[in-house]
Structure 1
């Protein structure tokens, strides 16, 4: 599970096996007792568990602010 970055106690990461065929670019988030999967384009929750709506909004904003970084890490790890 390659970690892309940490932010405020959350870990943003990919699973090494992201499906076959591979799903569109997304990021997984764990921390503070919850877990989420967030699509990158557009930034949208795929699924979540254990986070309140305020935290989900915060996570979406973090993903938006780091979208380029996430996309670059995705391509570095999985290729184009």
Structure 2
């Protein structure tokens, strides 16, 4: 599970086995309160979440949006 980056106590990462066929580019986020999965395209959106409130999800979606290029590069590097 490669970690792409950390922010405010949350770890942003991929699972090495992202399905077969592989799902579109997304990022998993885990913190003490819970975890979530975000799609990156066509726009950043929550795919699923457990234990995180709406305010936290909005904040994390903003972080994902701001780091979208980094996440996409890391995805392509890891799964190439």
Shift of 1:33: 1.8
State the alpha-carbon separation in 2 of the partners of residues 32 and 53 from structure 1.
Answer: 16
Gaps of 5+ in 1: none
Q: Root-mean-square deviation (CA), in Å?
A: 0.5
- Between Structure 1 and Structure 2, the one with more strand by share is 1
**TM-score with structure 1 length normalisation?**
0.97
Aligned to 1:69: 70
TM superposition outliers: structure 1 runs of 4+ over 6 Å: none
Shift of 1:28: 0.1
**TM-score with structure 2 length normalisation?**
0.97
1:26-57 deviations in Å (ceiling 9; x for gaps): 00000032100000112010000000110000
Aligned to 1:4: 4
State the alpha-carbon separation in 1 of the partners of residues 77 and 13 from structure 2.
Answer: 13
Gaps of 5+ in 2: none
